[in-house]
Structure 1
């Protein structure tokens, strides 16, 4: 980690020193006292069920040389003589402020990715496309919020050329604050759907919140968007460049043609503005990943990566788990897409299931959260989509079984739907009714923990 002096840190977090220690030999930043190591900067955060300010004594005892607090919950005599304590107004904002200071020291290109769906898949594809030419860091796991993003920034050093950072949000101003810390050179918006509409009330507001990713753009920065999405198709900007990709939008700067969706991947031709055509084959599934790949290809072009270099990088693609993982067992095939869910990603996963060669196509779906007043209609739409796209059996679990059933069930398939409120009953039914040769999609919002269903299916599929 490059160095900031104490005065810079205090000034950057708008804080004041309330305990003066005798050491400034820090290494990195930590927010969890269970992981504190000697030389760390400890930033105390508050959540619904915890208050990091209560653990400052422990952080100091474990070797923290700086503790940043927004409440004084310690006795000064309990603080080790090497520890400096800085008081700020809000700990979470201080974490972002320190990340902003640290980012300013780095000679590195940052690509920031947001969107209603596809952020993680696009992050993986962008990192792969750049990997044969550059040393690339990408967001690990779900570190895409106002705590995870600054911690990702602290992982960067002079060994990296490019960082690919994911930005999620639930409310206005969250991406604004993350963009302030990260100061991206290139931003990507995958799409604008209905995720988080409960909080933001309309898709237009969701678009405004996502566009905060460009709040610190200046001349020379680039925004890359999916022009097949209705709210992204006509974006314009005076200060920075807007690049568009698409399949159906004829005006897109970078288009995909001759798309072939296979059981083990996708193949398509890329056509750019100069009418140059190049064929790509990727080990990812679904038409939606053609769009995600186009976003990655356009980003790589912007960073002067040649097509042949991108192809080499794509061959080494490292995919994040629980995103359309195909697990072929001795009896049936599982599509594990249990990490998260929205209307758009549900439909994309159903498209993947539709293209698999199997005896029966079975979808096990759960609740999609943060849809507010649109919840019933959006779950109904997914049920309708499953019916229209040849899903043979639909099993649902959660709060919107009635909506799924209304969309899916007709006279011809009434016996092919089953809804449950109880996990154990659902799993028992699933294990008793999945047949050899079936393909089974498992998908729901993260808090439903549908990986438990995947684990039970895997155990029965050895």
Structure 2
């Protein structure tokens, strides 16, 4: 890892080095917080978690020939080098910030209330047509996950596409300080984390902290169809590029033709020309993601043909509208997370499905004082879409079921109190030919629903 000597690491985090003096000039080969992934030449950062304390595994990582351990407690019996620091959680951010500045890779930082991951996948797919790209894996988008993603960068990587997620004020400022984005992308301002950010204006302020450490010659790419983002006309002297489905955007799309759950064909219009594209994943939001990918691709010098190829190669991730065909059913695994806007968008896509349309929806968290009304709004939307079978799971989702029942548009509405109760009754509720949407907040553990459906 370039310039990641033990001396530089200690300086970056304000730590004190203990160990072999000659080793201070050695570069670590990798950095991990997982003792199971420790390897020769690595730096192991001992993190105190709610259930596990990394300091308990110091001996085992030295047995694997780790070059050094970063610790927030003295290790008088250490069998190797260690750096003592006040807080390893702060140190990991400081070290990642230092390492980011050793590398020449351009960084695309992506934030927004919903759609960060699918937009990240689209942008990475587009840029991979021209560059060597590293992208955020899984949900490594917070103050611990982002540094670990940065540590995966090598000198060979040309672009890093980094997802940046927050739940409170100040977090994005700290993430931006690490990432130092060259291009900032914002997908939308929705209703996530209202418990901490109060309202959509608060969400906009918190998300806008991504601009705090943007490069001087940086670029900004925004969803121009979002009423909040469309108000950002200039940031630090940088005029944003707006994308959207409405006319007048610099990057826009029209002539949308739905292919059901197989995606959408559309025309994308840019200042450099137009392209006809088959976006292979369903929903208008995926067309928006394609527009974001187009905008970023043009900023980084891709041709329209390269952008088209990248869009048409994008694939869904597990838990992110991932379609699974099993025993005559089409299971739509969209259970990674949920917000009212995202849930209603998924219900809209379900309308393009063949066969009986079944939605298994669960509680959404961190919605603030209006959470029950927001759940009811999703239920009303399901009624308007005439879902054949709506199954609402959890105490909050009871209000979703009540609103759907009052709307009268759904074929059948069920309210089930717990996940365990759902799993027991699920075999009696679904049938061959169904298209089944599964969606809830991550803490509902709806991946168990997807697993159960694949056993029927």
Q: TM-score range by the shorter chain?
A: over 0.9
1:223–1:241 Cα contact (<8 Å) kept: yes
Partner SS, residue 296 of structure 2: helix
- The residue correspondences of 1:18-167 to structure 2 (distance < 5 A) are 18-19=18-19, 22-24=22-24, 25=26, 26-72=28-74, 74=75, 76=76, 78-80=77-79, 83-167=80-164
Q: Aligned residue pairs: how many?
A: 452
Higher mean displacement: 15-24 or 46-55: 15-24
Partner SS, residue 117 of structure 2: helix
The structure-2 alpha-carbon separation of the partners of 1:6 and 1:380, relative to structure 1 and needing over 3 Å to count, comes to same
The structure-2 alpha-carbon separation of the partners of 1:451 and 1:105, relative to structure 1 and needing over 3 Å to count, comes to same
1:247 to 245, 252, 265: 245
* CA deviation vs aligned residue, 1:264-315 (integer Å, no higher than 9, x gap): 11111112246x3321112111011111111111000000101101122233
- The residue correspondences of 1:51-450 to structure 2 (distance < 5 A) are 51-72=53-74, 74=75, 76=76, 78-80=77-79, 83-235=80-232, 236-248=234-246, 250-263=247-260, 264-273=262-271, 276-358=273-355, 360-410=356-406, 412=408, 416-450=412-446
Query: Unaligned 5+ residue runs, structure 1?
Result: none
Partner SS, residue 170 of structure 1: coil
CA distance in 2 between partners of 1:66 and 1:148 (Å): 21
* CA deviation vs aligned residue, 1:383-402 (integer Å, no higher than 9, x gap): 01111112121101112133
* CA deviation vs aligned residue, 1:192-239 (integer Å, no higher than 9, x gap): 111111121121111111111111124310111111111101202243
CA distance in 2 between partners of 1:61 and 1:401 (Å): 50
CA distance in 2 between partners of 1:438 and 1:126 (Å): 32
Pairwise CA distance, 1:49: 2.3
CA distance in 1 between partners of 2:392 and 2:375 (Å): 10
CA distance in 1 between partners of 2:445 and 2:407 (Å): 32
CA distance in 2 between partners of 1:458 and 1:55 (Å): 37
1:138–1:164 Cα contact (<8 Å) kept: yes
2:107–2:180 Cα contact (<8 Å) kept: yes
2:328–2:433 Cα contact (<8 Å) kept: yes
CA distance in 1 between partners of 2:429 and 2:315 (Å): 34
The structure-2 alpha-carbon separation of the partners of 1:57 and 1:228, relative to structure 1 and needing over 3 Å to count, comes to same
Higher mean displacement: 29-38 or 326-335: 326-335
Partner of 1:16: 16
Higher mean displacement: 447-456 or 428-437: 428-437
Pairwise CA distance, 1:452: 1.1
The structure-2 alpha-carbon separation of the partners of 1:133 and 1:417, relative to structure 1 and needing over 3 Å to count, comes to same
CA distance in 1 between partners of 2:403 and 2:200 (Å): 23
Higher mean displacement: 43-52 or 284-293: 43-52
* TM-score normalised according to structure 2 size: 0.94
CA distance in 2 between partners of 1:454 and 1:222 (Å): 40
Question: Once superposed, what is the RMSD of the aligned Cα atoms?
Answer: 1.9
Partner SS, residue 438 of structure 2: strand
CA distance in 2 between partners of 1:411 and 1:208 (Å): 36
* TM-score normalised according to structure 1 size: 0.93
Higher mean displacement: 32-41 or 15-24: 15-24
2:277–2:311 Cα contact (<8 Å) kept: no
Pairwise CA distance, 1:328: 2.5
Pairwise CA distance, 1:153: 1.1
CA distance in 1 between partners of 2:326 and 2:68 (Å): 51
Partner SS, residue 373 of structure 2: helix
